Amino acid sequence: MPVTIAETTIEGEPRLDAFLVRPERSISDAPAMVLCHGFPSAQRPGVPSRSYEQFAERIAEEQGWVVLAISLRGCGQSAGQFSMVGWLEDVARSVERLREEGSQRIWLVGSTTGGSLAIMAASQDPEICGVAAMAPRADFDDWATDPRRFLQHCRNIGVVDLDDYPPSLNLWAKELRQHRAIDSVHQLGSRPFLILHGMNDRQVPPDDAQQLADQHPSPELRLISGADHRIRHDPRAVAVLMGWLERQGTETRN
């Protein structure tokens, strides 16, 4: 399906960089998603990869979905500094942007940390239709255990670039402990919930996926043999996600 791709910004504080991919159909009729990236890596500090944009384009072209792919605060060209509460606010603002554009059926899809964000953000918004999470963390306790070390990591990869941030290290770390995907799943109720996780993931153990699935009444858990943390690049995982999206878009319209 032909699509149009537009760079855009989500106004507010801080300003967020994003791009909106639209299929050539009425936006009010098309299912829509906010696509949430993971935590930047040392190899690509502060910048969601080009493959993230290509992934959004593929979903729009093959499934006919509207996709709003955002750069969370501190990443890419987005302003601001990383905090867990801030990133959750970014997702909520992105959902509102889709609603302003006319989208009536919105899902959240995220990879790694973005998958955890999708779960937590959907738990706070009962109008979100469903969630797909790829290699999500059940919690961020390991980050919060040594907040000074994690803050230095954030500086190294560029999601924090102010010397006097955060104002309170204790409060910043407390957010990491308090906001946990594992505590949010039950608030999804019976909304559709897909979890994809690689069996060879060395960064987030597959047990996290099982723990999350155990909190939902009817999850779709797919553990992919031989896949690692970069599960978004595994063709088997992508095929499962595409099939799930196709069903979601059809079932909610009927």
CATH of the domain at 37: 3.40.50.1820
Q: What is the C-alpha separation between 231 and 237, in angstroms, rounded? A: 7
Does residue 42 lie within any of the structural domains?
yes
- This prediction has a pTM of 0.95
Does residue 166 lie within any of the structural domains?
yes
Based on the number of CB atoms within 10 Å of its own CB, is 29 exposed (0-12), middle (13-18) or buried (19 or more)? Answer: middle
Residue 15 pLDDT grade (very low, low, confident, very high; cuts 50, 70, 90): very high
Residue numbers of the domain that contains 241: 3-248
Q: Residue 203: which of 100, 147, 134 has the closest Cα?
A: 134
Total domains, the chain: 1
Does residue 253 lie within any of the structural domains?
no
CA 158 to chain centre: 19
pLDDT digits (tens, 9 = 90+) for 96-153: 999 999 999 999 999 999 999 999 999 999 999 999 999 999 999 999 999 999 999 9
Does residue 254 lie within any of the structural domains?
no
Does residue 96 lie within any of the structural domains?
yes
Does residue 131 lie within any of the structural domains?
yes
Cis amide linkage into residue 166, ω under 30° from 0? yes
